[in-house]
Chain A
Amino acid sequence: MSYSGDENGFFGEFGGAYIPEMLQPNVLELRGHYLKIIESPDFQVEFKSLLRDYAGRPSSLYFAGRLSEQVGARVFLKREDLNHTGSHKINNTLGQILLAKRLGKRRIIAETGAGQHGVAAATVCALMGLECVVFMGALDCARQSPNVERMRMLGAEVREVRSGTQVLKDATNEAIRDWIAHPLDTHYIIGSTVGPHPYPDMVARFQSVISEELKQQLTEQIGRETPDYILACVGGGSNAMGSFYHYLDQPSVKLYGVEAAGEGLTSGRSAATLALGSKGVLHGSCIVLMQTRDGQVEEAHSASAGLDYPGVGPQHSYLCKSGRAKYVSVTDDEAFAAALQLTRIEGIIPALESAHALAYLGKLGAAANEVVVVILSGRGDKDMAAYLEYQKKQGG
Chain B
Amino acid sequence: MAISNRLTRLFSESDRKLLSIYFTAGFPGLQDAPLLCQLLEKNGVDLIEIGFPFSDSLVDGPTIQAANECALKNGMTLELLFKQLENIRSLVALPLVLMSCVNPLLSYGMQRFAADCSRVGLDGVIIPDLPPEYMEPYRGFFEERSLSTVFLVTSHTSPERIRMIDRLSSGFIYAVSSDATTGNYLEVGERQREFFRRLSEMRLTNPFLVGFGVSDAKSFERVSEYSRGAIIGSAFIRALSNQGGLEEKVQSFIGSLRSPKP
Chain A interface (Cβ within 8 Å of chain B)?
A: 16-25, 163-164, 169, 173, 176-177, 180-183, 279-284, 291, 293-297
Asked if B48 is at the interface (CB within 8 A of a chain A CB), the reply is no
Complex: how many Å from CA A297 to CA B181? 20
| Least CB separation from A311: chain B residue | B56
Contacts of A20 in B (CB 8 A): 58-59, 128-129, 131, 152
Least CB distance, A283 to chain B, in whole angstroms: 8
Complex: how many Å from CA A20 to CA B152? 8
Q: Please state if B72 and A281 are interface contacts (CB–CB under 8 Å).
A: no
**One of B29-37, B39-47, B89-97, B99-107 at the interface:** B99-107
Complex: how many Å from CA A293 to CA B130? 20
Least CB distance, B159 to chain A, in whole angstroms: 13
Contacts of B129 in A (CB 8 A): 18-20, 281, 284
Q: Please state if B107 and A293 are interface contacts (CB–CB under 8 Å).
A: yes
Complex: how many Å from CA A282 to CA B152? 19
Partner of A291, one of B65, B77, B107: B107
Partner of B156, one of A19, A25, A176, A279: A25
Complex: how many Å from CA A305 to CA B143? 45
| Least CB separation from A181: chain B residue | B180
Q: Please state if A296 and B54 are interface contacts (CB–CB under 8 Å).
A: yes
Q: Please state if A183 and B181 are interface contacts (CB–CB under 8 Å).
A: no
Asked if B157 is at the interface (CB within 8 A of a chain A CB), the reply is yes
Q: List, sorted by A's number, 15 A–B pairs whose CB atoms are closer than 8 Å.
A: A18-B134, A21-B131, A21-B154, A22-B152, A24-B154, A164-B69, A177-B58, A180-B59, A183-B156, A183-B179, A281-B129, A284-B129, A294-B78, A294-B107, A295-B103
Contacts of A293 in B (CB 8 A): 107
Complex: how many Å from CA A22 to CA B69? 23
Least CB distance, A317 to chain B, in whole angstroms: 14
Q: Please state if A163 and B152 are interface contacts (CB–CB under 8 Å).
A: no
Chain B interface (Cβ within 8 Å of chain A)?
A: 54-56, 58-59, 61-62, 65, 69, 72, 77-79, 101-108, 128-131, 134, 151-154, 156-157, 161, 176, 179-181, 184
| Least CB separation from B102: chain A residue | A281
Complex: how many Å from CA A47 to CA B169? 44
Complex: how many Å from CA A3 to CA B184? 42
Q: Please state if A22 and B179 are interface contacts (CB–CB under 8 Å).
A: yes
Complex: how many Å from CA A302 to CA B102? 27
Q: Which 6 A-B pairs have the closest CB atoms?
A: A295-B107, A295-B104, A25-B156, A21-B152, A20-B128, A296-B55
Q: Please state if A16 and B134 are interface contacts (CB–CB under 8 Å).
A: yes
Q: Please state if A173 and B151 are interface contacts (CB–CB under 8 Å).
A: no
Complex: how many Å from CA A177 to CA B183? 12
A294-B104, A296-B104 known; A24+B55 contact, CB < 8 A: no
Q: A281-B106, A291-B103 are in contact. List 11 more A-B contacts (CB 8 A).
A: A16-B134, A19-B129, A21-B157, A25-B156, A177-B61, A180-B58, A181-B180, A281-B103, A284-B58, A296-B55, A297-B103
Partner of B108, one of A18, A164, A279, A295: A295
Least CB distance, A249 to chain B, in whole angstroms: 29
Contacts of A294 in B (CB 8 A): 77-79, 104, 107-108
| Least CB separation from A289: chain B residue | B103
Least CB distance, B112 to chain A, in whole angstroms: 12
Partner of B176, one of A18, A21, A176, A295: A21
Contacts of A282 in B (CB 8 A): 56, 103
Complex: how many Å from CA A291 to CA B129? 18
Least CB distance, B199 to chain A, in whole angstroms: 13
Contacts of B153 in A (CB 8 A): 21
Least CB distance, B187 to chain A, in whole angstroms: 14
Contacts of B108 in A (CB 8 A): 294-295
Least CB distance, B176 to chain A, in whole angstroms: 6
Q: Please state if B181 and A169 are interface contacts (CB–CB under 8 Å).
A: no
Most buried by A among B62, B106, B151, B153: B106
Contacts of B62 in A (CB 8 A): 163
Q: Please state if A280 and B103 are interface contacts (CB–CB under 8 Å).
A: yes
Contacts of A297 in B (CB 8 A): 55-56, 103
| Least CB separation from A296: chain B residue | B55
Most buried by B among A17, A163, A283: A163
Most buried by A among B61, B69, B103: B103
| Least CB separation from A294: chain B residue | B77
Contacts of A176 in B (CB 8 A): 58
Contacts of A22 in B (CB 8 A): 59, 152, 154, 176, 179
Partner of A182, one of B61, B106, B179, B184: B179
Q: Please state if B102 and A18 are interface contacts (CB–CB under 8 Å).
A: yes
Q: Please state if B152 and A180 are interface contacts (CB–CB under 8 Å).
A: no
Contacts of A181 in B (CB 8 A): 179-181, 184
Partner of A180, one of B65, B101, B180: B180
Most buried by B among A19, A295, A296: A295
Complex: how many Å from CA A283 to CA B130? 12
Least CB distance, A264 to chain B, in whole angstroms: 23
A21-B153, A183-B156 known; A280+B131 contact, CB < 8 A: no
Complex: how many Å from CA A205 to CA B102? 29
Contacts of B180 in A (CB 8 A): 180-181
Contacts of B151 in A (CB 8 A): 21
Complex: how many Å from CA A24 to CA B107? 24
Complex: how many Å from CA A45 to CA B162? 40
Complex: how many Å from CA A279 to CA B102? 12
| Least CB separation from B62: chain A residue | A163
